[in-house]
């Protein structure tokens, strides 16, 4: 007689029971660990898109210069699976760096005032569908190089005002930007320094984005077909690598 250990692929628990069969006739199991996020699983999946490690690889590849179809071809899955898996992440994204915000309690600001109060701001051009439909990425950067917040939208004043509202809790005292009119119109002249001297850090961040996200690479035919996917993939990148969140 042979025994096969049945282990949940999501939480590695061996507390599982049989729970019916799939339409194909494969045995389905139910994980009885109350802390398990998933619950039901199969021992061998015929559909590669259901495998937990393939799902992780989809996200990793999309943040490392692979487009939706590149990912689908190399993992031998359907492009729709890639899109579906990416869309599941939409709910957990944040557009403000809450980790930095939490450390900014009044006691710490006192000694950190040199660095904490200053920010670099810039826009980055990209588009969805065609070049007549541009979409600007508003990122903001600390003197320490940390991204504080980001907003997506047309290059219009109301989009900048959204970013300004997100930055309110950081208590910034100085803004380094380029010469775009919206900055001059909405920032206090005493706190605003336009020019190229102090925006190198944020420009370098834009280069990283353009290298690591396929839809942002210039002079190629790669682009986003929907606003949702454009904002989602860039948001995912910023959340994981700039905010340090486990998404
Ligand atoms: Zn489990």
192 CA to middle of ligand 1, Å? 53
Q: How far is the CA of 58 from the centre of ligand 1 (A)?
A: 21
Measure the CA–CA gap between 16 and 33, rounded to whole angstroms. 8
Please determine, for residue 190, whether its predicted confidence score (pLDDT) is greater than 50: yes
| C-alpha of residue 175 to centroid of ligand 1, in Å | 48
The answer, as to whether pTM is greater than 0.75, is yes
Long-range interactions of 195-201: CB distance < 8 A, separation 24+: 198/120, 199/120, 199/121, 199/122, 201/120, 201/141, 201/143, 201/145
Residue 66: pLDDT band by 50, 70, 90 thresholds? Answer: very high
CA 77 to ligand 1 center in whole angstroms? 24
Q: What's the rounded Cα separation, in Å, for the pair 102 and 121?
A: 21
Q: How far is the CA of 7 from the centre of ligand 1 (A)?
A: 8
Q: What percent of the chain has pLDDT over 90?
A: 43
Cα 53 to ligand 1 centroid, rounded to whole Å = 15
> How far is ligand 1, taken at its centre, from the CA of residue 124, in Å?
42
Residue 146 pLDDT: 84
Those residues whose C-beta lies under 8 Å from the C-beta of residue 96, and which sit 6 or more positions away, are: 148, 149, 166, 169
Q: Which of 60-74, 102-116, 139-153, 219-233 has the lowest mean pLDDT?
A: 102-116
Average pLDDT, the chain: 87
What domains appear along the chain, each with residue ranges and CATH number?
Answer: 1-46 (no CATH), 47-88 (no CATH), 94-242 (3.30.420.10)
- Taking only the tens place, the pLDDT of each residue in 121-135 is 888 888 898 888 888
Cα-to-centroid distance, 218 and ligand 1 (Å): 43
């Amino acid at each position: 007689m042979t025994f096969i250990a049945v282990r949940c692929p999501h939480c590695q628990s061996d507390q599982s029971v049989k729970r019916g069969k799939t339409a194909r006739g494969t045995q389905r199991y139910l994980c009885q660990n109350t802390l398990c996020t998933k619950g039901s699983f199969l021992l061998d999946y015929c559909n590669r898109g259901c495998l937990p490690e393939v799902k992780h690889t989809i996200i990793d590849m999309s943040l490392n210069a692979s487009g939706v179809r590149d990912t689908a071809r190399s993992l031998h899955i359907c492009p729709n699976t890639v899109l579906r898996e990416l869309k599941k992440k939409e709910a957990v994204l944040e557009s403000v760096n809450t980790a930095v915000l939490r450390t900014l309690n009044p006691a710490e600001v006192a000694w950190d005032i040199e660095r904490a109060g200053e920010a670099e701001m810039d826009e980055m051009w990209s588009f969805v569908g065609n070049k007549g439909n541009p979409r600007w990425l508003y990122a903001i950067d600390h003197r320490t190089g940390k991204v504080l917040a980001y907003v997506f939208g047309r290059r219009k004043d109301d989009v900048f005002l959204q970013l300004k509202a997100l930055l309110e809790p950081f208590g910034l005292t100085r803004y380094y930007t380029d010469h775009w009119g919206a900055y001059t119109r909405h920032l206090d002249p005493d706190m605003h320094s336009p020019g190229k001297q102090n925006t190198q850090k944020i420009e370098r961040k834009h280069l990283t984005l353009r290298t690591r996200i396929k839809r942002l690479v210039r002079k190629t035919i790669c682009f986003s077909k929907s606003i949702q996917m454009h904002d989602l993939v860039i948001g995912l990148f910023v959340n994981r690598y700039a905010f340090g969140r486990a998404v």
